[in-house]
Amino acid sequence: MVVKAVRGFSDILPEEILTWRKVEEEARRVLEAFGFREIRIPVLERTELFARSIGGETDIVQKEMYSFLDRGGDSVTLRPEATASIARAYIEHRLYSRDPEVRLYFIGPMFRYERPQKGRLRQFHQINAEVFGVAHPMVDAEVMALLVLLLSRCGLTEHELQINSLGCPRCREGFRETLKAFLEERTRKLCQDCLRRKERNPLRVFDCKVKGCQEVMEEAPLLEDHLCDECKDHFLQVRSYLEELKVPYSVNPRMVRGLDYYTKTAFEVVAKGLGAQKAVAAGGRYDNLIAELGGPEVPGIGFAIGVERLLLVIPSLPPPPPPLLFIATLGDEAERIAFRWCYELKASGITAAMDHRRRSLKSQLRRADKLEIPYVAIIGEEEISSGKVILRDMRQGSQQNIPLDTFVQEIRERLGPSVHEAL
């Protein structure tokens, strides 16, 4: 029996790799220009890190985590998101001790046990950015602006930035009761999960994907009418700074996001053409997370881009190019020489290839043609005795002789990096 990949875990093939790299390189370029430094966090964390930060009533913690007991009996989890891990690293290594403001980014895979479908995998990749140490609403606007900038640089054209304010624990306290009372009167229309959420964390009902629940929430009271003065003012300022930077946005008063640690600003970038999984990126402010994880009282804000989802809506790049030169051989001696030439050329950065299956010259040339290799050199007994090798330019259809003794040197000069780039 053939062993296949685990459901929801996919391979990223060479055909797709240049688009992946472009997105990653664009992310590094933009984020580093905005002062973010790369951090690399482990794939595995203690389960309690996520249970404590993401929130016990969220879908992620309730049903999506890859958790297991390791051989020592500790409960560990494959990271379902990066903010909690980055916050843990920030606290553990006291990254706040050098400068009050710390900007970090991370690119890597996340793991969630969800039903695989278009734009939803069990192993997927995120680009994460986090700013620790600044409560000022300018940073909220800057983070959203740079997210939109980065997505546009990657080729995303039709998208919308949606924002909301989730308030602070103080404003949410009162709102919880209002919302709970509202839901209490509509229990017949709520799904099983939401009946439980109503008791433990009624705000989560806004995030329910069940149609009946969403209909109920159309009429629900909104958090925006219950914000305390500080949160209301913060939100107004965030909006005015977005306007200052000329970043278009819309307010979505029902957006709560799938994580409990958010406070004040929450946002999402939705793209056209993605169907139900339309959020390519999402994030928010989390002013209590660091303290809740045992760190100092430090505010934070960040976002995550879903790379697979982004790739569904941006133009893809062609596959990586074929080798530049194919050396076709006839006979043992020629094969030995080609072997050395290929090695020397590859060592100097020129992609060269040859055949190792003792095929006829014709079939070697057919292979080079099929791979669309632009240059082909031919070497056989005749070439060895005459001291000249034929180099064919397959696109121009022209050919010329190159001295056997200086072949590698000549090829380096003719087809070396600068020439290669010009092709």
**Measured between alpha carbons, how far is 256 from 57 in angstroms, rounded to an integer?**
13
> What does each C-alpha distance from 265 to 59, 165, 258 come to in angstroms?
21, 5, 14
CB-based contact 201:179 (threshold 8 Å): no
| Beta carbon of residue 259, minimum distance to ligand ATP (angstroms, whole number) | 6
Identify what 327 binds: ligand ATP, Mg ion, none; CB under 5 to 8 Å per kind.
Answer: none
Binding mask 8-47 for ligand ATP (x = CB under 6 A): ----------------------------------------
Q: How far is the CB of 290 from Mg ion (least distance, A)?
A: 23
Both structure tokens of 194:
């939401």
Residues near Mg ion, by CB under 5 A: 258
In 3D space, the residue among 38, 119, 123 whose CA is nearest the CA of residue 79 turns out to be 123
Site for ligand ATP, residues 77 to 106, rule: CB under 6 A = 81
Q: From the list ligand ATP, Mg ion, none, which binds 304 (C-beta under 5 to 8 Å, kind-based)?
A: ligand ATP
Burial of 139 (0-12, 13-18, 19+ CB in 10 A): buried
In the complex, what is the shortest distance from the CB of residue 268 to Mg ion, in angstroms, rounded to a whole number?
12
Q: Is 281 in the site for ligand ATP (CB under 6 A)?
A: yes
| Residue whose C-alpha is closest to residue 225's, from 188, 275, 299, 175 | 175
How near is the Cβ of 305 to ligand ATP at its closest, in Å? 7
Let me know: does 131 contact 302? Beta carbons within 8 Å.
yes
Per-residue burial over 238-265, b = 16 or more CB atoms within 10 Å of its CB, e = otherwise: bbebbeeeebebeebeebbbbbbbbbbb
From residue 123 to residue 152, the character string flagging contacts with ligand ATP as x (rule: CB under 6 A) and all else as - is -x-x--------------------------
Among 79, 103, 112, 234, binds ligand ATP (CB under 6 A): 112
Residue nearest to ligand ATP (CB): 306
258 binds ligand ATP (CB under 6 A): yes
Choose, by CB under 6 A, the member of 150, 231, 282, 377 that binds ligand ATP.
282
Could you say whether residue 304 binds ligand ATP (CB under 6 A)? Answer: yes
Paired tokens of 178: 């209002």
Distance CA(195)–CA(200), nearest Å, equals: 9
CB of 304 to Mg ion, least distance (A): 11
Answer for which of 23, 107, 121, 156 binds ligand ATP (CB under 6 A) is 121
Stretch that binds ligand ATP, among 131-139, 228-236, 305-313, 347-355 (CB under 6 A): 305-313
Closest CA to 310 of 103, 148, 101: 148
State in angstroms the smallest separation of the CB of 118 from ligand ATP: 10
Q: How many residues does the chain have?
A: 423
CB of 329 to ligand ATP, least distance (A): 47
Q: From 233-241, 300-308, 327-335, 394-402, give the range in contact with ligand ATP by CB under 6 A.
A: 300-308
Residue 282 interacts with, from Mg ion, ligand ATP, none (CB under 5-8 Å by kind): ligand ATP
Residue with tokens 């994580």: 259
User: To which residue do tokens 């949410």 refer?
Assistant: 172
- For residue 30, the 8-state DSSP code is H
Q: Whole-number minimum distance, CB 271 to Mg ion, in Å?
A: 16
DSSP one-letter string for 184-211: HTTGGGS-HHHHHHHHH-GGGGGG---H
Q: Is 260 in the site for ligand ATP (CB under 6 A)?
A: no
Nearest approach, Cβ of 246 to ligand ATP (angstroms)? 24
Given a contact cutoff of 8 angstroms between Cβ atoms, the answer to whether 252 and 160 are in contact is no
Q: Is 257 in the site for ligand ATP (CB under 6 A)?
A: yes
**Closer CB to ligand ATP, 186 or 309, in the complex:** 309
Residues 284-298: b if buried by 16+ CB within 10 A, e if exposed: bbbbbbbeebebeeb
Nearest CA to 180 among 242, 226, 248? Answer: 226
Q: Least CB distance from residue 50 to ligand ATP, whole Å?
A: 11
Tokens of 11: 């391979």
Q: Is 153 in the site for ligand ATP (CB under 6 A)?
A: no
Query: Which residues of this chain interact with ligand ATP, rule CB under 6 A?
Result: 81, 112, 114, 119-121, 124, 126, 257-258, 277, 279-282, 304, 306, 308-309
